[in-house]
Structures are given as C-alpha cells and as structure tokens.
C-alpha cells in the first residue's frame, strides 16, 4: 500500500464522518494526515515500523501513526470499515459528486435512507428532494447536472497517471529484440487532461510473423499489475490493470505504422473530417494507409507526415486533432507555431518547507537550474491557508529576505521572491499591501469559499484584478480533476478585465489541476489575456510535470507570444511588477 492509497482511505474516512456528523476536530485530523501523506516524499511502507519516523511527518500524531500501522499490517482500517458498514460503499461515490456536500447527503439519508448515485438521481428527477429543508427545485436541477458530469468522468484517469503507465510499458517492451517503436496513441498522445483507456502501438521486425508476434504478446501479458485479459487476438491484446485502467496494445507492420498511428491517435471527429477530405480527393483512408480509389494503389502509410502531405495539409500536431478548425487551418497554412517546453525560461510557482513544500529554497533552485531555467520564483502560501502553515506579514517579509539572500548565493539562476497569497471571500488579499509591494511576483489564488454564486465570484476576481499588487491569478477555476468541478464565474468579464489591467492568468500544470483548461485558455486568449505556466511544485520532483501544462497550452493553440515565462528575466520581471520598479537583481 503506497502513500496515495493510505491517504485515500483517510480522505474517505473523513468524508464519511462528515455525513455521520462526527466531531469536526477528529475529521480534520484524518484530512490533515491524508494531505501530509500525499506530499510526503518517502513511502511510509518503508518506515511504518519506526514510530519516530512516522511522527516526524507533520500532521501525523500517535493516533494516525497507529492507523497507518493497522493499514500496513492488515490492509484495512477498522474506523473506515465501520463507516462503510453504517452507510454502504456506494456512499463514497455520492461524496465524489460536486455540489452534493456531506450535509446534504446526510439530509437525504435521514429522510429517504438512500445513499447511492442512481437513487439520488431518481429522487431529484421525481421532485422529492425539494421537500427537504434548504433544498429547492433549483438545487435538484444542480444535483442532476452534477450527477451527469460525474457519470461522464467515472472510469477516466489523470493524464499524468496514464502517461506514467505508458512510460513504464514502453521501457518494458523496448527490451524485446526486434522492437523498433513503442508509442502511445489515443487521448494520451493528444494530451487530453483525462484518459479513458490507454492505446499503445508497437512496431518493428517483431511484428512481422506470427511466432514473433506471439512472443511479443506473451511479454506484454507479463507486464506487472495486470488484473484480467479482456481480449487477445493476432495483432491486438487488451487487458485491465489493477488500477482499473484498460490498455489496448496493437502490433503493427512498419509499412503501415504511420496510418495506424494517425488512425488510433484520433480524435474520432478529426478522423471523420480527414476521411471526408480524402474521399473528395479520390482517396480512401484507413488504419492501413491512404490509397487511390480508382485502382486501390497505396500512396502513403509509413509515416503520418506523408499522409497529411498527400492530402494537401501541413502536419497537424496531435494536440490539435479535436476537430476544432485544425484541418482548414492546415489547408491554408495557418496552423499556429505552438509553444514548446524549450521556450520556457522559468517556472514561477513553487513552495518550500517554509509552508507545505518538502524542499528548501536552495534545493528547489538547484532543481530548476538543472532544467536549464534562467529564473524561478518561490511563492509560499499566506496565513489564511492555516493547515499549510501559511505566512503572516512578518514571516512573509523575513522569507523575502531569505529568498533574496539565496538568489545572491546561487549562480546560473535568479530566484524571484514571491507569494501565493489567498484571495479572501470578499476579494481582499490575505497580506498587507506594504508586504505585497516587496514581492517580485504575487500569485493570487482562491483556496476557500469555493461555493460562492458565480456573480459573487466574478466580483471577487474583479477586485483582485483591480489590486495593483496582483501579478497573476493562480489556478483560476479551482478545479480538481475527477474530484471537484471548477467554480463558475463570468469568463468574459474576468478575462476582459485581466487583459485590460495586465494581470496574467496561470495555467497550473499540477496533474490534478491543469487549470485553466484548454477551452478556457482559448477563450481568454481571444480576450487578449497573457498566461504564465507553472508547476506549483511542492517537491523538486514536481518540476518535470510542466510538460503536462505545456500540452494543455498547445491544445489551446497557444504560441510562445501568449506565454510570459518564455520572456527573458528583465522583461518578465517588469510585467510581473505591473510597471512599478523591479526589485530583483538582474543577473
């Protein structure tokens, strides 16, 4: 059992306790322990017998240490089981639906003894929920909508998780003789924020004869973590991993690899459009190649490039293949010159041990320098985020001094002094102006009061944009993928105001966030907004997750010019200060 799995059980226990209206202090202790474990760099499975080592994790007291040992030795937690017995495991799904908080669920349970998704959907559509206190016809509609989006999301996985599995599988198969390429296709290759199933393609000499293919399939089926084999054919094998993810692997001949890669990368709608174009030009297109209709002669198929070229199109990067105008743009040579990771000069949202990060300023700086960045920023939390040990005014000032001193010591990279300051319920920022003015960069983020009405949230954000200290808005919709939908606000108004004021929008590359999402990025760009892409790293190992962020920027058709942290330090620092004198030493 890894840290993540333990954290999940603690989260679930806390959520169920909320429905049962247990003591708030006790609930919070489970949540704190779960948060701590999620970010802890060392696996507790390695240290759980050492009480001292467990207690050294912030948020883990004697009770939680006991719970961890119980889980590690028996695989179960008595409190968790007890809670599940009380309600029914289906309650856990209900808790995952945004807009259905533990209090509402408790109300429904008390009145109807219903605690599953289908049951609640039925009650809502029959108009029975509005008979409960505090619930109206409008709340019924909201709940139904939330259930619908929940149903669309279940069974999907975070891009980051799918990508890790694809990486492991590639490594695992690359060892086989005769394997030329192992490549992910499908939604993963297009960089979608969540992935339904993983599509892997294998090609090389190893796919040329049946005995060779059988060897490859045998090897694939020895991949660690396979729960069940779903289908096994001559060129294809599908299986389910223990995590629930389905993987389809296809074995392909080198001469049609490009056609297969194109076909299985999708999206389905992009392929439909492309096939129609091919037909109009007298070709058929399928996963084996592009062929002339008149004599069935193959004219392309070995590479994707030659297929697009034959159809009179510039090469369309996978991230754009969503049937959003990319085919026409490619025909007119109007595809954007998409941003790449190499364009980035810095990552400017990072936490340290001063709040809830796991590394020091220096460790983060060394890791950022190793990635070749010219600059970076330390942006720890402010006091409103009490569980993260957020900074008050004096601590924030002292931290700025520490960051400036570290930057002076450090060669080859400039460390900007920043803060991720909480946006309070009314749109005020959580620290004094006199302290914020000392920062090179101020990321203003919503971390509380997510449930405000869109109109109120809009006013809240407009106030932040009007504040001359704000450099950018952090993870602007607050969404957590597969867990919580983002809060709504008037996008037109907020993006227009931000563009006018020169306040940037963040794209937060943390795999659970990827916020702003692709459509919102495109919408904001149309209003003239500029962006900053950040990892929000809480550990040195998080810096590499920037690639998931860059994929989303590309999906939104963004270029280098749209993204401020592609600029050299002096220009970037000036924009973050919104016209006031730059404080950081430019070196």
Site residues (CB under 6 A) for ligand DGT?
Answer: 186-187, 192, 195-197, 199, 263-264, 266-268, 271-272
What is the distance, to the nearest Å, from the Cα of residue 232 to the centroid of all Cα atoms in its chain?
32
What whole-number distance in Å separates Cα of residue 382 and Cα of residue 156? 34
The H-assigned helical ranges of 266-344 are 268-280, 304-310, 326-331
445, interface contact from Ca ion, ligand DGT, Zn ion, none, CB < 5-8 Å by kind: Zn ion
Residue 326 touches which of Zn ion, ligand DGT, Ca ion, none (Cβ within 5-8 Å per kind): none
Site size toward Zn ion, by CB under 5 A: 1
Of 416, 429, 428, 362, give the one whose Cα is nearest residue 390. 429
Kindly state the smallest distance separating residue 176's Cβ from Ca ion, in Å. Answer: 22
Q: Is 98 in the site for Zn ion (CB under 5 A)?
A: no
326 part of the interface to Ca ion, by CB under 5 A? no
Among 32-40, 442-450, 540-548, 552-560, the segment contacting Zn ion (CB under 5 A): 442-450
User: Which strands, in side-by-side order, build the sheet including 289-292?
Assistant: 283-286, 289-292, 298-300
Contact predicate 270/276, CB 8 Å: no
* Binds 383: which of Zn ion, Ca ion, ligand DGT, none (CB < 5-8 Å by kind): none
Instruction: Report DSSP state, residue 559.
Output: B
Which residue number is nearest to ligand DGT in terms of Cβ?
A: 266
Site membership for Ca ion, residue 186 (CB under 5 A): yes
| Binding partner selected for residue 193 from Ca ion, ligand DGT, Zn ion, none, CB under the kind-specific 5 to 8 Å limit | none
271 makes contact, choosing from Ca ion, ligand DGT, Zn ion, none, with CB < 5 to 8 Å by partner type, with: ligand DGT
Q: What are the phi and psi torsion angles at 247 (to 5°)? A: -125, 130
Decide: is 534 part of the binding site for Zn ion (CB under 5 A): no
Q: Is 115 exposed, middle or buried (0-12, 13-18, 19+ CB in 10 A)?
A: buried
Rounded to 5 degrees, φ, ψ at 158 are -65, 145
445 binds Zn ion (CB under 5 A): yes
From the CB of 314, what's the least distance to ligand DGT, in Å?
21
Q: Which of 248, 356, 485, 562 binds Ca ion (CB under 5 A)?
A: 248
Nearer to ligand DGT, 76 or 268 (CB): 268
Total site size for Ca ion, rule CB under 5 A: 5
Residues 190-229, mask of contacts with Ca ion (x by CB under 5 A): -------x-x------------------------------
When CB distances to Ca ion are compared, the closest residue is: 186
- Closer residue to ligand DGT, CB minimum distance, 20 or 158: 158
Q: Where does residue 130 rank: exposed (0-12), middle (13-18), buried (19+ CB within 10 A)?
A: middle
For the CB of residue 453, give the shortest distance to ligand DGT in the complex, in Å.
33
**HSE of 564 in the Cβ direction (CA atoms, 13 Å)?**
28
- Minimum CB separation of residue 235 from Ca ion in Å reads 14
Indicate the residue among 263 and 373 with the shorter CB distance to ligand DGT. 263
How far is residue 538's CA from residue 380's CA, in Å, rounded to a whole number? 9
For residue 506, how many C-alpha atoms fall within 13 Å in the half-sphere facing its CB? 31
Q: Indicate the residue among 235 and 438 with the shorter CB distance to ligand DGT.
A: 235
Supply the minimum distance, in Å, between the C-beta of residue 420 and Zn ion: 5
- Those residues whose C-beta lies under 8 Å from the C-beta of residue 282, and which sit 6 or more positions away, are 292, 293, 294
We find the least distance from the C-beta atom of residue 446 to Zn ion, in angstroms, to be 8
Q: What's the closest the beta carbon of residue 447 comes to Zn ion, in angstroms?
A: 6
Q: At what angle do helices 518-526 and 491-501 cross, to 10 degrees?
A: 60
Q: Which of 555, 541, 582 is nearest to 375 (CA)?
A: 582
If the CB atoms of residues 189 and 383 are measured against Ca ion, the closer one turns out to be 189
Residue 289 zone, left/alpha/beta (φ > 0; ψ -120 to 50; rest)? left
Q: Where does this chain bind Ca ion (CB under 5 A)?
A: 186-187, 197, 199, 248
Q: Where does this chain bind Zn ion (CB under 5 A)?
A: 445
């Amino acid at each position: 059992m890894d840290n993540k799995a333990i954290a999940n059980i603690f989260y679930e226990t806390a959520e169920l306790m909320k429905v049962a209206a247990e003591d708030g202090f006790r609930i919070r202790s489970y949540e704190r322990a779960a948060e701590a474990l999620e970010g802890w760099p060392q696996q507790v499975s390695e240290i759980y017998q050492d009480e001292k080592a467990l207690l050294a994790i912030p948020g883990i007291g004697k009770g939680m240490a006991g719970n961890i040992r119980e889980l590690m030795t028996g695989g179960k937690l008595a409190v968790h089981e007890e809670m599940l017995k009380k309600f029914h495991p289906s309650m856990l799904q209900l808790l995952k639906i945004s807009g259905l908080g533990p209090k509402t669920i408790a109300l429904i349970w008390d009145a109807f003894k219903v605690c599953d998704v289908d049951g609640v959907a039925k009650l809502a559509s029959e108009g029975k929920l509005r008979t409960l206190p505090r619930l109206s016809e409008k709340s019924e509609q909201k709940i139904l909508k939330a259930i619908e989006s929940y149903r669309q999301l279940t069974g999907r996985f975070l891009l980051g998780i799918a990508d890790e599995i694809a990486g492991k599988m590639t490594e695992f198969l690359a060892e086989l003789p005769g394997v030329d390429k192992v490549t992910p296709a499908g939604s993963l290759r297009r960089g979608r924020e969540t992935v339904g199933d993983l599509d892997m393609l294998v090609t090389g000499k190893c796919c040329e004869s049946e005995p060779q293919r059988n060897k490859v399939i045998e090897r694939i089926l020895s991949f660690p973590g396979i729960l069940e084999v779903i289908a096994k054919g001559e060129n294809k094998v599908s299986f389910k991993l223990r995590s629930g993810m389905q993987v389809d692997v296809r074995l392909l001949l080198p001469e049609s690899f490009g056609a297969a890669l194109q076909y299985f990368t999708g999206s389905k709608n992009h392929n439909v459009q492309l096939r129609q174009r091919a037909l109009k030009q007298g070709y058929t297109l399928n996963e084996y190649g592009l062929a002339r209709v008149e004599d069935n002669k193959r004219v392309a198929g070995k590479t994707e490039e030659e297929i697009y070229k034959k159809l009179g199109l510039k090469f369309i990067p996978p991230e754009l293949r969503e049937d959003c105008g990319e085919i026409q743009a490619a025909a007119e040579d109007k595809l954007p010159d998409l941003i790449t990771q190499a364009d980035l000069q810095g990552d400017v949202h990072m936490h340290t041990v001063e709040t809830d990060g796991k590394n020091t300023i220096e460790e983060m700086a060394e890791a950022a320098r190793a990635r070749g960045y010219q600059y970076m920023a330390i942006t720890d939390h402010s006091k409103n985020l009490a569980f993260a040990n957020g900074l008050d005014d004096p601590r924030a000032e002292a931290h700025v001094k520490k960051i400036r001193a570290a930057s002076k010591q450090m060669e080859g990279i400039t460390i900007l002094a920043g803060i991720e300051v909480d946006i309070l319920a009314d749109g005020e920022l959580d620290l004094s102006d006199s302290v914020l003015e000392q920062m090179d960069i101020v990321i203003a983020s919503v971390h509380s009061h997510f449930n405000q009405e869109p109109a109120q949230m809009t006013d809240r954000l407009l106030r932040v944009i009007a504040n001359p200290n704000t450099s950018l808005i952090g993870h602007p919709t607050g969404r957590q993928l597969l867990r919580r939908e983002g809060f709504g606000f008037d996008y037109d108004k907020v993006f227009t105001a931000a563009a006018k004021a020169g306040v940037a929008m963040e794209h937060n590359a943390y795999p659970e966030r990827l916020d702003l999402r692709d459509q919102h990025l495109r919408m904001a760009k149309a209003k003239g907004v500029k962006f900053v892409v950040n990892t929000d790293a809480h550990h040195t190992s998080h810096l590499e997750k920037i690639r998931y962020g860059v994929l989303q920027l590309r999906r939104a058709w963004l270029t280098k010019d749209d993204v401020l942290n592609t600029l050299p330090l002096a220009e970037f620092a000036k924009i973050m200060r919104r016209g006031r004198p730059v404080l950081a030493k430019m070196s």
